[in-house]
Structure 1
Amino acid sequence: MSTTTSIQWQLVSRPTGEPTVDNVARIEITLPELGVGEVRVRNTFFSVDPYMRGRMNGGRSYIAPFNLDETMQGAAIGEVIESQDAALPVGSLVQHQLGWRDLAQGSAAQFQPLPNVPGVSPSLFLSVLGITGITAWVGLTQIAHVTEGDIVFVSGAAGGVGTMVGQIARLLGASRVVGSAGTAEKVDLLTNKYGYDAAFNYRDGDLRGQLAKAAPGGIDVYFDNVGGEHLTAALGAFNDGGRAAICGAISLYNADSDIGVRNMSNIVTRGLTLKGFTMGSYFQFAPEFGEAMRGWLEDGKIVFDETISVGIDSAFDAFTGMMNGANVGKAIIRL
């Protein structure tokens, strides 16, 4: 009987600062024969995301850390190639959390069937129709409660979530949307493709001054993907009653210590609301989000980019590149 091997990426040591190749290992695993109720899936796409850096640490967070010497996990799309469960026959398109490998195997309950949508790449279920899209929508509608006429500031605006936030904010009635990014090319994309009214390169410094120029009327909503100095600048720019959806803090993920945030007294004097969120508590809104996003896509009101890296061997470099801002839109591995 022939054997089937799977190429997988495992975490072998906890990083200090930025992860390196010494912290991971590319291995080959022989997969066992399928048991009753199990399926084998050939992954076609999987996601690399900032939250995965936190899972490389050993401390407490909102999601369990990766175990050492075990294969890392993350969102993936694939096709069932062998099945011992009638509910998921061979050929089924599925979504699951067994990324960082070319072949995934397990109980059929770990895999959720997806529709084949003509003209739509399955990768969009990892981005616009998936976690990045719903994260942007939830942050704006359920956390910051964006309203007609709001001025919205988005940090990390050229990433997978940020590119969605700016567009959704405008569709929900924001009067002005401004964003920060890390290169001049990304700044141009924000204003020329993604509908941002103004954008600036945070690497040019003086974040508070650049934000004041981009939003001379102050801001009402801040969608935070970066933390640190960006949050300080936003706290200084808020109008009375401002709201912040704190989604991420990528500027801190490789830091040895936290970076102090200033302008905290404005939370009191301007009556601000800052709320952090992770999607695990908000997936009940998935049907409402899906209906809205599918409609916007069909009407041509949403544009998107994907930064695609090809092949399982590209996965770790794609992850570290994403952590350093190499991607535009969602960072995805195509197998």
Structure 2
Amino acid sequence: MTIAQVLSAIQLGLLYGILAVGLYIPFRILDIADMSVQGTFTMGMIIAAVFSYNRMPILGIVVAVLGGAVFGIVTGILHTKFNIPSILSGILTMTALYTVNLLIASGKANISLIGKDTIYTIADRLINNDQVTRTVVTLLIVILMTLAIAVFFHTRTGLTIRATGDNAAMVRHTSINTDNMKMIGLSLGNAMAALSGALISQYNLFADVNSGTGILVVALAAIIIGETLFKRNGVTLGLISTVVGSIIYRFIIAIALKFDVLPSYALNLISTIIVIIALMLPAIKETRERKTKKRLHQELVNKYLNDVNNLSAEVEKRIPGQRTNGKSGGKNE
């Protein structure tokens, strides 16, 4: 791989890492399967593209994040107030967002940003190096985003959201509104998904209403890869491992495409295979550890039994000797 390909993999890994964090919040912290992330990701792309087309790229990112947060609340209301299952609530929101995205794009299926200002072109006027600009800007945004979310989940509200995901019934017994906590979590997750979409549209200079197809598998792959490498040890490490997992995933994709393992249109299949392998690894590792523990236990048992047998044999040898000595001593007397 060339330096340009390595930098591209890192940049895309960081950008999709924001999406993975958006899925991590409802999926791991709230224990909710949120399908609406796919719709808000695309919505973020379309909103940012529309604003960038009209020379307002930074405002477009802000509006995209706010739009993602709003539709995250919509999903939360459907789930908490109308008792619709979380996965169905997400699907309903995602389906509705397809039409919303077309309305935002004025009925256009895609928007080109070639020749338009983006956050990257604005920053590049100061740095004058496209690859360095993309890497630095993306890395800075990801660091700030991860830090802000990690700090938030250590505040009182953040800890309450985490407790809601662990045991909602217990939190309700403390007179805390768990519905509000779920809506805040879903809003934050979808805001991050929209932020990812907004940045990717400005990165690629292109936005399409069908860009979200299969994107959940990409985010899930990043989460699973990160957890496989770092395990699940707290929210902060979980956020970092998710971003790292996203970068590793992009490298795997880049290597697969470079060596023509599968054609370029098979990205979703590659993503699915990666997720399956990543999900299998913990189970395989657990099975191996169980077998190792069983073998060690059997070895300890065998060693203990051998020691007992050896000790018994030694005792039996000594006792007859003592009896013989006792009899000979009596005769001498």
Shared fold by TM > 0.5? Answer: no
**Over alpha carbons, which structure has the higher Rg?**
2
TM-score by length of 2: 0.24
TM-score by length of 1: 0.24
Which is helix-richer, 1 or 2? Answer: 2
Which is strand-richer, 1 or 2? Answer: 1
